[in-house]
Chain A
Amino acid sequence: MTDPGNSRQTVRAAFVCGPGLIWLLVFLLVPMLLILSVSFISRGAYGELEWTVTLENYRRLIGFGALGFDPLYPQILLRSLALGATTAFLCLLMGMPLAFFIARLPGRFRAAALLLVVIPFWTSLLIRTYAWQILLAPEGWFGSILRHLGMTELYPGTLAVLIGMVCDFLPFFVLPLYASVEKINWSLAEAAMDLGASQWNVFRHAILPQISPGLTAGLILVFLPATGQFVIPDLLGGAKTVLLGNAIQQQFGQSRDWPFGAAMAVAALALVIAGMWLFYRKSGQKGEWL
């Protein structure tokens, strides 16, 4: 590489990177800034944008609407966060053993086992979600098992949404985690065992620090899309499982209150920025699991 201050390099880089960067500027950053600005204006009588500055949308979002305190939107926010966190936790329970399982397979099986996780990752979320309608229906494969276990009226409902979320996002958790597990230096664990550490302590002190970048990345990559999900609660949930994503869709759709919808989108964005910050701090290597 030549010296960093080279201005000829800057000119050449501008030609090569410029088109892509300008594209992202126009179709990513500008729209985000528009969302931010529209969240501070009000809506006209016919749903048109009225360019007068107001904090009304954010007041409504935290519950102080024109008609006094209304917990509807704070509830939606909290519900989204809770469902996102629960999904991440369940993915951890289910996906952590899976990542270790794949890492411990002999070489030729390992690639196949990994491919089996990657395929759902790249398969339409919409299709995999509507399939749960069939599976969870009272006469469906899972539905009838669950009915025998005494769980009735599972779908539509929160539990159905949770099942769909965990199934859809499990690969998002397993893939980054696997990238870390694959690189574990097992001699550290062996040394800890030789020194008489209990199984839990071996995991806690010899394994966990080694996989923490992948673990954090996986949890964030599940939590963020889960809180903003719109398709899964729309297809598997009922009226009681409106999440942030559905509320945004509603405001930009039927309700035609774009400024209020924009305020919700900003709330979702704030969450993403916090998540990305954490992701960068915790997991040095980015994107390698792609």
Chain B
Amino acid sequence: MAVNRPSLRLSLWSALAYLFLYAPIAVVVIYSFNAARFGAAWNGFTTHWYAAIWDNPQALSAARNTLLLAGCSTLISTLLGTALAYGWTRFHFPGRRWISGLLHIPIFIPDIVLAVALLLLYSLVSPWLRFFELGLPTMVLAHVTFQIPFVAIVVRARLAGLDPALEEAARDLGASGRQKFRHVTLPLMMPGILAAAMLAFTLSLDDFVVSFFTSGPGSTTLPILIYSSVKRGITPDINALSTLIILASILGTVSVMLLQRKNR
């Protein structure tokens, strides 16, 4: 049966919902071009605040930390999460059914609980192992922890959707297990792995709460910088910085959607 087109009332209500969702994003973007240094009054268009980011050493070092953190944690979590998803779907082993529950814990628990739990772990271990003193390494460990489940779930969805006939064909044509994995399974998994990596990267880029609790002196990231600036008062240069982050998130989301579209 053909589904009815949405009614006018439904459309209007949905338009309001979209307006509500996008008003905050729009206001940040618009005010990042506002010439006025203080207050909400519009004082003319400028790109000055974007240029000012390049002269702000704090912002540059925070951007460097953010990218380093997101890059390292995404690399580790994509490797671990992809392997986990592969073993989870392809092998039978005792305790297999508990994996799904384990993976859903980080998705459900409030950020702050994971954050303080890791802070506690680090502070108990760091007197013996200097590596666990708060800083970028401890932040990478924390980010990988909340990224793994997302990677594993996305890659698993891709694996579950694969046509088993393709792998059977490879075997029938005489491919060894390793050859089959290398030339058939892995290339087929690739769009899922890329989408998962992109999601993991975006998650890390946007994370504030976990970073806030597990960072040390000198490992300030962009979200932490934004938070502490907002606490002192919102300024146009913070809006400019935020606009760039929003742009990165939008690009990430759209490319994930396109990658997953290609899967089908």
Contacts and interface: CB of A to CB of B under 8 A. Distances in A.
Contacts of B14: 97-98, 101-102
A131 B153 CA distance: 32
A122 interface: yes
B242 to A, nearest CB: 4
B108 interface: yes
Contact of B213 (A227, A231, A252): A252
Interface stretch (A12-20, A56-64, A146-154): A12-20
B242 A124 contact: yes
A111 B100 CA distance: 28
A204 to B, nearest CB: 18
B104 A20 contact: no
A16 B121 contact: no
A9 B252 contact: no
Given A27-B144, A100-B10, A248-B113, A262 B84 contact: no
A268 B86 CA distance: 32
B112 A230 contact: yes
Interface in A1-41: 1-6, 9-10, 12-14, 16-17, 19-21, 23-24, 27-32, 34-35, 38
Given A20-B152, A190-B1, A131 B108 contact: no
The binding surface of chain B is classed by DSSP as helix
A275 interface: yes
A194 to B, nearest CB: 12
A218 interface: no
Interface residues of A, number: 100
Contacts of A287: 104, 107, 153, 157
A10 B91 contact: yes
B25 interface: yes
A121 B121 CA distance: 30
A156 interface: no
B58 interface: no
B3 interface: yes
Contacts of A272: 105, 108-110, 113
Interface string A231-260: 100010000000011001100100000100
Interface stretch (A65-73, A132-140, A207-215): A132-140
Interface string A249-283: 10010000010011001001100100110011000
B110 A224 contact: yes
Interface in A107-132: 111, 115-132
A141 interface: yes
A13 B10 contact: no
B159 interface: no
Nearest to A230: B112
Nearest to A143: B40
Interface stretch (B15-23, B46-54, B182-190): B15-23
B93 A10 contact: yes
B177 to A, nearest CB: 10
B41 interface: yes
A31 B31 CA distance: 41
Nearest to B246: A123
B117 A265 contact: yes
Given A17-B87, A35-B120, A118 B113 contact: no
A286 interface: yes
B124 A131 contact: no
A77 interface: no
Contacts of A127: 24-25, 28, 226, 242, 245-246
B253 interface: yes
B94 to A, nearest CB: 7
Interface of B: 1, 3-6, 10-11, 13-14, 17-18, 20-25, 27-28, 31, 39-41, 80-81, 83-84, 86-88, 90-94, 96, 99-114, 116-121, 124, 141-142, 144-145, 148, 150, 152-154, 157, 199, 202, 205-206, 208-209, 213, 223, 226-227, 230, 234, 242, 245-246, 249-250, 252-254, 257, 261
10 shortest interchain CB distances as A-B pairs: A228-B110, A131-B24, A31-B117, A16-B87, A20-B84, A17-B87, A13-B91, A101-B14, A20-B80, A13-B93
